[in-house]
Structure 1
Amino acid sequence: MGKINGCLKCLFIFFNVLFGIIGCVLVYGTIKATAFSLQMSAFGAPGLGWAWVFAIGVLGISSLGIYAGCSENTLALKIFAGFMVAGMVIMMIFGIIIVVGRNKLRDSFHASTEVKPFMEDQEMRSVINGLQESLHCCGVVSPKDWGSDIPASCECNPSGMGGLYGGRDSCISRPAGTTGPNQIYEQTCGDILLFFINLVCNITMGFCFGFAVTALLGLLVSLLMIHQVKRHDSAGGASYAMKSY
């Protein structure tokens, strides 16, 4: 018999194989996302360096866990436990950073001074025009983002159907002193974009905190396995069996 309880060892290896598969999927997804990121780099899209580090890290650590579980090597188990501690701390930090970044981004979306530079860029104006047509919204913070000339993409039909939330479009009169459609969408594009940002941030936070909890469990299991190996060695080679309750 081995130094580690058979059920615990199989469970440990199984979860590491599972995370190894997840690591392969993350590497594949990062490869696909890199091509898209290169196309969007002209618009200031962030790079995917950290995504590569995370994907390769998950794959590498899971491979180390599989080796440590199969070989029952104390040093490999200790290294794996160290990675679990580091991973747990990093995931918690990333989760907190995402929460803070989401709140700052939400505040900047509601500040007209932050929106003005985007509205002065012709490419961004074209992008926002496209969003207004597809999402049935007008302006980022308010229709006044367009100045005195409201574009035709803001035109609202009170009997129209569609938009992000479905149902009938909610229309208002265009601001006084402006030109353009008489009826425009009441919903702003900033509110809709914030909806998507909140959704992505919530999923990412759940991912980070979920990995932190998983890393904690991996740490506890690896410490238990190290204890079993040491107990086996100190007992002069006698196999260790967990107590049945």
Structure 2
Amino acid sequence: MGHVNLCLKGLFIGFNTLFGMIGILLIVLGRTASTMAAGEGQSDIWQIYLLGGAIAAISCLGVFGARKQITCALKMFSGLVCIGMVICVIAGMSLASNRSMIIEATQELLKEEVNQLEDFQAAYKLECCGINKSYTDWGPEIPDSCVCAPVHQDTAICYQEETNISERVQVYKEPCVPYLLRLMNKLIDIVIGICFGFALVALIGMIMALVMVAQINTVNEEHRGPPYHASQRSAFV
């Protein structure tokens, strides 16, 4: 059996081991999420299991093919990784092209749920206050959730406001609708970055696997020697 470059083999195995651990982590996170959901929204959690299981299985296939130097396993790994790379690129491009549509849909949803926005801001301790203007969108008094946390006081995200009892407090400056839309934009950027990042990593893994296949085939051809008819012809010369 031919031997591939040990540095490439070790790097490839380490690369796949890391991604196998990521797959296992996704499965654990899916299990944790299903426990916390307690029956609500569990219908979508199977996707986390599927993604984590697929990553772990493909990584194990790559490690197996590299350790045993089986070209068939490495070729199968390359094909599956190529499919994953295409999916990541399509998902990233689709998300980027539909960004404005997603932002508009989020804005419409916030308008429909405007009555629950104050409770949502208080529950998750968002660093914002009011709907589109200031705390006055929610009434004459400053809600406790709008008061800046000590770590944020005297910073650019807060401003001084006087209460009904002539006490000055620092209140979050940014209204919640622009704040949530900005967070949504950041989330879209992160997801796009993850998609193209995974695509790039998949491309690197696929190239490494194909290089290993080429090395194994080359060494095996050298060990196999010339074809039988060629050796017979040379014996009569």
What is the TM-score when the length of structure 1 is the normalising length? 0.70
Matched-pair contact (CA < 8 Å) for 2:91–2:195: yes
How many percent identity over aligned positions?
A: 26
Matched-pair contact (CA < 8 Å) for 2:24–2:52: yes
Pair 215,56 (structure 1): closer, same or farther in 2 beyond 3 Å:
same
Matched-pair contact (CA < 8 Å) for 1:170–1:185: yes
What is the TM-score when the length of structure 2 is the normalising length? 0.72
Pair 71,134 (structure 1): closer, same or farther in 2 beyond 3 Å:
closer
1:119 aligned to which of 114, 118, 128: 114
Give the Cα separation in 1 of the matches to 2:145 and 2:14.
56
Deviation at 1:231, TM superposition (A): 1.5
Matched-pair contact (CA < 8 Å) for 1:77–1:222: yes
Give the Cα separation in 2 of the matches to 1:233 and 1:65.
20
Structure 1 unaligned spans of 5+: 173-183, 239-245
The aligned amino acid for 2:127 is L
Deviation at 1:142, TM superposition (A): 4.9
Structure 2 unaligned spans of 5+: 162-170, 226-237
Residues 1:35 and 2:32 aligned together = no
Give the Cα separation in 1 of the matches to 2:184 and 2:90.
19
Residues 1:87 and 2:76 aligned together = no
Structure 2 residue aligned with 1:25: 25
CA deviations on 1:25-46 (whole Å, 9 max, x unpaired) are: 22212221233344653xxx98
Deviation at 1:81, TM superposition (A): 0.5
2:66 aligned to which of 54, 66, 69: 69
Give the Cα separation in 1 of the matches to 2:103 and 2:151.
19
Matched-pair contact (CA < 8 Å) for 1:4–1:225: yes
The aligned amino acid for 1:137 is C
Which sits farther off after the overlay, 222-231 or 94-103?
94-103
Higher gyration radius (CA):
2
- The number of residues matched between the two structures is 215
Matched-pair contact (CA < 8 Å) for 1:91–1:211: yes
Tell me which protein shows more helix as a share of its residues.
2
Pair 125,207 (structure 1): closer, same or farther in 2 beyond 3 Å:
closer
The CA RMSD over aligned residues, in Å, is 3.6
Q: Which secondary structure does the structure 1 equivalent of 2:223 belong to? A: coil
The aligned amino acid for 1:56 is G
Deviation at 1:129, TM superposition (A): 5.7
Please show how residues 204-215 of structure 1 align to structure 2 within 5 Å: 204-215=191-202
Deviation at 1:130, TM superposition (A): 2.1
Q: Which secondary structure does the structure 2 equivalent of 1:8 belong to? A: helix
Pair 3,40 (structure 1): closer, same or farther in 2 beyond 3 Å:
same
